[in-house]
Structure 1
Amino acid sequence: MGYRGIPYILRKENSVTRTQEEKKRLVSRIKRIEGQMKTLEKMVDRDAPCVEVMRLINSASGALKGLLTKIVTDHLNGCISAAMDKRDAKLVDELADFFKTLK
Structure 2
Amino acid sequence: MAHIEKNKTALLTRIKKIRGQTNALERALEQEPDCIAILQQVAAIRGAVNGLMNKILEDHIRLHIGQADMSDEQRADENEALILILKSYLK
TM value normalised by structure 2? 0.84
Aligned residues: 86
In the TM superposition, 1:12-91 aligns within 5 A as: 16-17=1-2, 18-19=5-6, 22-82=7-67, 85-87=70-72, 88=74, 89-91=76-78
2:77 alignment partner AA: K
1:30-79 CA distance string (max 9 Å, x none)? 00000000000000001221110110000110110111111111110122
RCO greater where, 1 or 2, for CA within 8 Å and sep 6 or more?
A: 1
Structure 1: give runs of 5+ residues left out of the alignment.
1-15
The 2-side partners of 1:81 and 1:54 are apart by: 38
**Aligned with 1:82: secondary structure?**
coil
* Alpha-carbon distance change, 93 to 48 in structure 1, aligned in 2, over 3 angstroms: same
CA contact (8 A) 1:33 1:63 kept: yes
Higher normalized strand content (fraction of residues): 1
Shift of 1:96: 1.7
% of aligned pairs identical? 30
- For the aligned residues, what is the CA RMSD? 1.6
Opposite residue 29 of structure 1, the aligned amino acid is R
Distance 1:83 1:93, change over 3 A: farther
> TM-score of the superposition, structure 1-length normalised?
0.75
2: CA distance, partners of 1:24 / 1:56: 24
Shift of 1:85: 2.6
Larger helix percent: 2
Unaligned runs of 5+ in 2: none
Cα separation, 2, equivalents of 1:90 and 1:63? 29
